[in-house]
Structures are given as C-alpha cells and as structure tokens.
Amino acid sequence: MRRIGIDVGGTKINIGVLDEYNNICGRVEAKLPPDKSAEGIAEFIGKLLKTHFSEMPISCAGVGIPGTVDSTGRIARKVPNIGWDNVNFADILEKHIGIPVTLIQDSRAAAFGEYMAGAGQNRNVLVCVTLGTGIGTGIVINGSIFDGGLGASGEIGHLPSGDEGRECGCGKKDCMECYAAGKGIELSAKKVFGEELSCNEVFELANNGDIRAGKIIEDAVQRLGKAMISIINLLSPDALLFSGGISRQKELFVNPLIDYIEKHCYSTNGELPFIGAAKLGPDAPMVGAALAAKCRAKSKGKISASMMCADMLHMEEDVRELEKNDVQMLHFDVMDGHFVPNLMLPAEMINQIKKITDIPFDIHIMAENPEQYIEKYNVCKDDIISVHYESTPHIQKALSSIKQKGAKAAVAINPGTPIESIREILDDIDMVLVMTVNPGFAGQKLVPQCIEKITRMRRFLDGLGYTNIEIEVDGNCSFENIPKMMNAGADIFVAGSSSVFDPKLGIEKAMVKLREIIEP
C-alpha cells in the first residue's frame, strides 16, 4: 500500500504519493483555495485526491502543517499564516478523504524526510530549516523528532530580528520571518520599491543585477545566518540542511548563506557540520509528512484484563466471565518485592489458570533478573512475556529465552525511561509495554506526560520501520484515559480496577462500555 504526503504551505499545497520504496510515484501542486478555513482546505484536498489519485491504493496520509501541532498529531494548535487556532484538522480531513490522517509541523516533516530518505541519512543530529513563506526548523536526534519540553522546538522564524515594528502572524512584531522569509522579503521590497512585489519577482530583479533587490536578499541572508550560527553553536549538529521554496535559490541565497555560516561559526579543530541544500529540496516536507503518517490499519484495540485486580478467591469465575465477554488477553503481573515494592502472582498459580482457559496470556515480569522466572511458565505462541528494560543488564538474553519458550517477547519501560533506550533490541521484540504509572500497585493515578510518550514511541517505532511492533499501556487504563491512549497510538490496554474490574459495574457491563470506546 502507498502513503500520501500533503504539504500545506502559506500559499500552496504540494501533494505526493510514495511507494513502498519511498519513491514519489504521483504528485500534484496547487495554490491554496480562497477559503483557507480548515473545512475549505480539507474539501479542496479531497477534490485534488479524487481527481489525481483515485486509482491508487493509499493507506494513510501525513499532512505537513505550517504551524504548531499537538502531540497526538490530530490538532493544529496555531497556524499563523493561514489563521488557524486549535483546529482538529485530522478529523476534518479524514471525513473528506476516508483514510487515517496524521498531522506534523511542516519543518519537522522536512527534517524527518531528509533523515529517512535524503541528505540526513546516517546522521546523528540533523537540523533542517524550511525556507518558504515563513521559516521553520525541524530537529531529529538519533532517529526521533525533537519536539522540546513544551512541544514548540524549532521556531526560529519567531526569533526577534529587526526594529521596524513589522507585524507577524503569530501576534508578535519583528520576528525573523518578517525579514528573512518569503513574506519578509516581500515586506522589504514594498518598503524599498514602494510597490508590492512577490518574493520570486525580487529574486528575478536581483538576478538581473538590480542592486536594491540584491541588498534585500543580502540582508535576509545575514539575519538568517546569525540565527543558524546560534543553532550550530548550541546543538552541535552533524548536518544542517535547507529545504522549502527559497532553497531553490542557490546562487543568490543558499550558497551565500552557507558561506556566511562557515565564515562566522565557532568550530573545534576546524570541524563543521555538513551544510547544504536538502536532497529532497522543496519536497522534503511532503515526503517527511508521508513517512511520519501512521499507516498501520486502525485496530479496534485489545483489552488485557489485569488479573491482579480480579477476585483472588473466585479467580475461575472471573476468568469465565472474561471469556464470555470476549476479552482478548489476561494480564498477569509478576513482582518480586525488590524491583517493585510488592509481591504478586506466583508461577504456579499462573500455570494452573493456563489449564482452564484458551485466552492468550500476557505475563508482565516486574522482577530483578527476570531470566530466572521465564522458564517457570507454560506458554504458547499466542502468549506474551514482557521483561523490564531496567531490570537486567542482559536484556537480549532474556528476550531470547522468551522466544525459545515459544512465546512473543516484549520489553517494558518505566515512565522515566527514555524511549530511545530500546533502539538496539527492536529486532528482538514483538511489543513494547509503556508503563503509564510507576509499577508495583493497582489504583494509581496516570503519569500525565506518558500520553505524549505513547505518541513519541509510536513515531519512534514507525520512523525506524517497526510498524509491526504493538504498543501496550499499563497504568490507570480507565474509561476516560483509554481514548487518549488509543489516539496517541496504543494498541493494547491493561485494564484493571478503573475499568474491567470496576466494582460498581461488574465485568459484563464494564466490557460493554469498553467495546463502545475501542470499537466505535
């Protein structure tokens, strides 16, 4: 199946279809419609896709947005150049095109596209600056898009630059893009020439030797160059790339910009990052958006009933009730009183329950040296055993032992463990268990930043090509939290006292309510 990338710019839309080898196999470019509302643009995109790509099998769409996007990839928070604020554009567009939609800030899409398929391949820290109507910057660090603590990293276009009081679409004045981006060049041209000229017309004049136009571009280059030097000195990337429409202007803009940076940038032993135009050029945001799209089929979601919350004196009755209500998995917590401050569910008990049901088991080992526990369980190919990344220095050995037992292998990570920690074992696992509470006890409150962590985990896995690895979440999977977790990219939900085993509802009513949530 193919995926589609849609780059919504300040003045135009660039759409391309990528095949399974990340090659562009179809494309169309068009000016933005007069109606720049979310509904207007979604309807316009729908018509373009129907006209140009109706015969192509497309699984999903990624949309580059020229502004801030929330962590779920659904809501365009602030898009100054087309006037959007807190718009759920993913939902709106899905109604018009009928496939899953993921939003990503266009500059981050450009960086991700270059990292995956362009000049940023095999780099560790990549900075990609998109030069168009505005200026945006995407940062990729070790395979993950860097969003920043508040989700607004890379807003170089809104650094203060100048003192003429030029109004920016963000509500501030004298932002960098008011001087060094396409709209800034146009504002400078109006001041110098006394008439409105397009950015392309200014470059054409400069190409023909117009000194005034040349000075406008030179000023833009120097302003942007100073910002780029700050970025290099701060982050020490090994690649700095330029994409977007203005990146086509190599002789007048990109080459002088590179010269300015190399001349003024701090370096150690003369070593500088690779600096150049993005290999994908103006297509970088479109390609990156397509690659960042969540192309996995939308699953209905699976419920793994947390058996530590079941009635221990009537365990078989609860298992039968769960069978009757088609729960997909039974989740068993194994605790040693050392790795976590609790003791729970011995192997003998888990093996006895295995004799009375065919529901797949989801065994979560929260214990030091998990290798010593794996051999104790009677498991089959549909069962999963999870071990904590933090619990053993021999994580690959533990995962290998699970595979040898014939079960699926999974790694669990605590709320404070970085997602990048598991990169070296992705070939060894079938599932990642993201803890959304600190492990050890039922009934805890959700660690709120873990919802965003699920999104980053899904993006991390998909970006490295591991779309087949499922994400399970464990911790306060309540009726209220499961929709957020599902929207963030989770597939399996460990449901305990706040849902499946809610004493006020009982298992049957709780499962009915859960199915209404995960099987809309």
- Taking the alpha carbons of 119, 121, 124, 126 in that order, is the dihedral positive or negative? positive
- Give the Cα separation of 82 and 76 in Å (integer): 11
333 is catalytic: yes
Name the pairing type of β-strands 343-344 and 384-388: unpaired
- Catalytic choice (7, 106, 147, 474): 474
What radius of gyration, in Å, describes the C-alpha atoms of the chain?
26
| In the block, residue with structure tokens 């006890």 | 441
Q: Counting beta carbons within 10 angstroms of the beta carbon of residue 194, is it exposed (0 to 12), middle (13 to 18) or buried (19 or more)? A: exposed
Give me the catalytic one of 106, 147, 333, 362: 333
Is 362 an active-site residue? no
**What span, in angstroms and rounded, lies between the C-alpha atoms of 277 and 240?**
8
DSSP string, 446-503: P-THHHHHHHHHHHHHHHTT-TT-EEEEES---TTHHHHHHHHT--EEEE-TTTTT-T
Output the six-digit token pair for 514: 């859960």
CA angle 55, 57, 62 (to 5 degrees): 115
Do residues 273 and 235 touch, judged by C-beta distance below 8 A?
Answer: no
Alpha-carbon 57 to chain mean position? 24
Catalytic residues: 333, 474
